[in-house]
Amino acid sequence: MHVSLDTMVDTLKAAAESSRLRILVLLSRGDLTVSDLTEILGQSQPRVSRHLKLLLDAGLIGRYQEGSWAYFRLSDTDSSRDFVLRLVSGVREADPQVVRDLERLASVKRKRQDRAAEYFSENAASWDHIRSLHVPDRAVEAALLKLVGKRPFQSMLDLGTGTGRLLEIFAPLYRRGVGIDMSREMLTVARANLDKAGVANAQVRLGDIFSPPVERNAFDLVTIHQVLHYLDDPARAVSEAARLLRPSGRLVIVDFAPHRLEFLRDQHAHMRLGFSDRQISEWFAEAGLDLEDSQEFEPRGQAEARLTVKLWLGRDRRLLIADPSNDALPARETA
């Protein structure tokens, strides 16, 4: 952090208190509510709230609302986040107080996983039926990983994150990941899955794909996985997603090719029965994106009774100005 002397002193004062440092250690492992922190720290809610306010005022943490619940996380600002991570890395995990806090944190996460498991059990039959109609998810995931490549980048946004699976598989590549979903139940599932996978550099939030609660021009990779067919205006979703990309950022869409399985409308709330390359290409062009790649995954068995999965990659046409301090995706050549 490159700040004035007085600001640095205020920042250090905010962190230099036992309970607040414990909170930073906990938030470095994922987003938590006031209730979660109250349970873990063994302190009253007003006291925990006061500590959170001081950390918020110092810019070390952030806050977002999810219905009646407020979640707290490390700051989205790279410099502040890196400062906190360096700070907490110096705290011994073997410290008796830290050990107790992490044990209670594990208990909180187990409760999340129990709620997620309950939701899954209630909906598993429906999801399994749809999965049986197309290629296994692992085939598409392997193609996604190959398409995006191995070069690290700054930030990823997964719109309609569902189970949080894409945030999980791309976690080794991005510094900061965000997932957005309109379903609180699915956010419970995503948090449980990310906790179980040990992904601490991603968070999930309640939000609408048409007006996601994130900044524009901020993400190197935006993904929309099996979401467009639920929307009444998918073209608008593509346009909104494009506005969230940094120059030369990439938008990846995974969905179905056109099909005739009408029962998906009636039984599974699908608004659209797949998308053609021409539709996606036109929507990309209108949003200022170039269609760079399109891949198809045909299922085995009778074609008329199966779903073909499509993958489309679009890139923002704006050129990224080289910046040695930025680890974002590389700019394209202007020639």
Structural domains of the chain, count:
2
**Do the domain assignments include residue 144?**
yes
> Which CATH number do you get for residue 33?
1.10.10.10
**What confidence tens digit (pLDDT) does each residue in 222-259 have?**
999 999 988 878 999 999 999 999 999 999 999 999 98
Residues 165, 297, single domain; the answer is: yes
Residues 72, 141, single domain; the answer is: no
Distance CA 89, CA 98 (A): 12
- Residue 303 clears pLDDT 70, i.e. is over it: no
**Do the domain assignments include residue 325?**
no
**Do the domain assignments include residue 111?**
no
**What confidence tens digit (pLDDT) does each residue in 137-178 have?**
888 999 999 999 999 999 999 999 988 999 999 999 999 999
**Do the domain assignments include residue 72?**
yes
Quick one: pLDDT band at residue 183, thresholds 50, 70, 90?
A: confident
Q: What is the pLDDT of residue 254?
A: 95
Residues 97, 163, single domain; the answer is: no
Residue 101 structural domain: 5-105
Residues 301, 165, single domain; the answer is: yes
Residues 158, 286, single domain; the answer is: yes
Per-residue burial over 173-198, b if 16 or more Cβ lie within 10 Å, else e, is: bbbbbbbbbeeeebbbbbbbbbbeee
**Do the domain assignments include residue 16?**
yes
Residues 192, 272, single domain; the answer is: yes
Distance CA 296, CA 309 (A): 6
- Predicted model pTM: 0.73
Residues 148, 243, single domain; the answer is: yes
> Which CATH number do you get for residue 138?
3.40.50.150
Distance CA 237, CA 242 (A): 9
> Phi/psi of residue 304, each to 5°?
-70, -15
**Do the domain assignments include residue 115?**
no
